[in-house]
Amino acid sequence: MQSGCGSENMSEPIRDTHTRVSSQSKPGLLERLSETSGGMLVGVSLFLLSFYVLFTNEGRAIRVAASLDEGLSQVVSLEPSFTPILQNNNRLVHLSGLLRTAQPLHDPNYKVAVHAVKLKRQVEMYQWVEHQESRDYEEDGQTKTETTYSYSTEWRSDVINSRNFDKEIGHINPSAMAVESVTVVAPDVWVGRFSLSNGLVEKIENFQRLTLTAPSPDSDSFLTVYGDYFYHTPYPNRPEVGDVRVSFSYAGSSGEGSYPRPAQVVSVVAMQRSDQLMSFKTKSGEKLEILYLEELSAQEVFEREQQVNTRRLWALRAAGWGLMFLGISLTIRIFYTLVDWVPILRELVSLGLKIFALCVSCSLSLLTIAAGWLFYRPLVAGALTGLALLPVLIARFRTPPKKHQ
């Protein structure tokens, strides 16, 4: 089945290439100004959005940090083997233990069964894929665009509409797949004697590829196992456009045996209600419903969550600043458009506009972050405000005094 010739055919997909050149007159000043005006509207929208992202991000991070501190001060650690007791009802609890499900998940079409929390069927189809590479150049007073279209056959999990290809003839894909991708979730999941809420089950995402075995002799003759795929063709080494292959992966192994793996150890922090674990609402208004796919103490769980909160805080800060910088750059680009016909002046104005956008976005971002901290930590807000105004103060003191006549 794994012959040398077949391997070469699979590693060398069919390719086709052609080039198309389009031309248009060089836009005049009014046309460029019109395009810049549209960019200004987008820039103003991004500029306003950046304030929302930066301001709300600070408040969210502060509330989450306070909620985690509150949770750590109240959490009660349990043993998963203990019988749930009413004393802990509506309290925040922590426990570590093995995942358990009532019965294995299975796919009857492919006779696959695993002891796991989730079973995912991933379907791919062999299709034509269009790739584009473009370059612009000027010739005879016109702006020309040379676009090279290349076509290759690839396994893709989404259906590619070949009607949108520049050259559909000879590159036609089927309009749908014969088999659909699907994810099956166990209806009941436990850790010890505690059942997990849907929110906790959703956090189990450690999908791993399932190793397949050859199908039984009475199965479909066009179903072939090659590697870790079911192929809907007797010739997996020589796929044709429209052929389908199926792979399986699982998350949260929960069987007592060794297939596919021993049961997964998890650590959970959530509210106990009878024998169920669900989300816990803190005084700050945040919900605590935490699950990690390893054995951790309560202290370690909350430390991990604080680290996640810090990373999210800085990621959104960077995103907010990026939106503000881009918004300012698009808004003031009209000044570059007015002088872009003068080579030297064009480069100087471009550099000046970038420096201006950088300075203003940094200062306004710091002011917005400071506003977010104002109601929680005024001293931090004051320090950030001073840092934001530093460029203005430096420029103020470096300005020479006017001489009296």
pLDDT digits 0-9 by tens, 115-159:
999 999 999 999 999 998 888 777 766 777 888 899 999 999 999
pLDDT value for 3: 37
Each residue's pLDDT tens digit, 236-292: 889 999 999 999 999 999 976 656 788 999 999 999 998 899 999 999 889 999 999
Does the structure show a pLDDT above 70 at 197? yes
The answer as to whether 84 is a domain residue is yes
Same structural domain for residues 226 and 174?
A: yes
342 falls within a domain? yes
- Give the residue numbers spanning the domain of 123: 76-296
Say if residue 84 is in the same domain as residue 207: yes
Whether the link from the prior residue into 215 is cis, omega within 30° of 0, is no
Q: Are residues 278 and 321 in the same domain?
A: no
Q: How sure is the predictor about 396, in pLDDT bands with cuts at 50, 70 and 90?
A: low
- What distances in angstroms separate CA 311 from CA 95, 303, 316, 361, 384, one per listed residue? 25, 13, 9, 21, 20
Residue 224 located in a structural domain: yes
Residues 242, 344 within the same domain: no
35-68 burial, b at 16+ Cβ within 10 Å, e below that, comes to: ebeeebeebeebbeebbebbeebbebbbbbbbbb
Domain count, the chain: 2
Helix or strand run (H / E) with residue 112: strand 112-114
Query: What is the residue type of 26?
Result: K
User: Do both 291 and 319 map to the same domain?
Assistant: no
Contacts of residue 131, Cβ cutoff 8 Å, sequence gap at least 6: 149, 150, 151, 152
Burial grade of 11 (CB within 10 A; 0-12, 13-18, 19 or more): exposed
Pair (124, 217) in one structural domain? yes
Under a CB-based contact definition with an 8 Å cutoff, are residues 153 and 130 in contact? Answer: no
Residue 71 lies in a domain: no
| Cα separation, 261 vs 250, whole angstroms | 10
Q: Are residues 370 and 267 in the same domain?
A: no
Output the furthest CA–CA distance in the chain (Å, rounded): 107
Is position 301 within any domain?
no
Phi and psi at 262, nearest 5°, equal -60, 160
Cα–Cα distance between 57 and 261 in angstroms, integer?
40
| pTM of the predicted protein model | 0.78
> What is the per-residue pLDDT for 9?
43
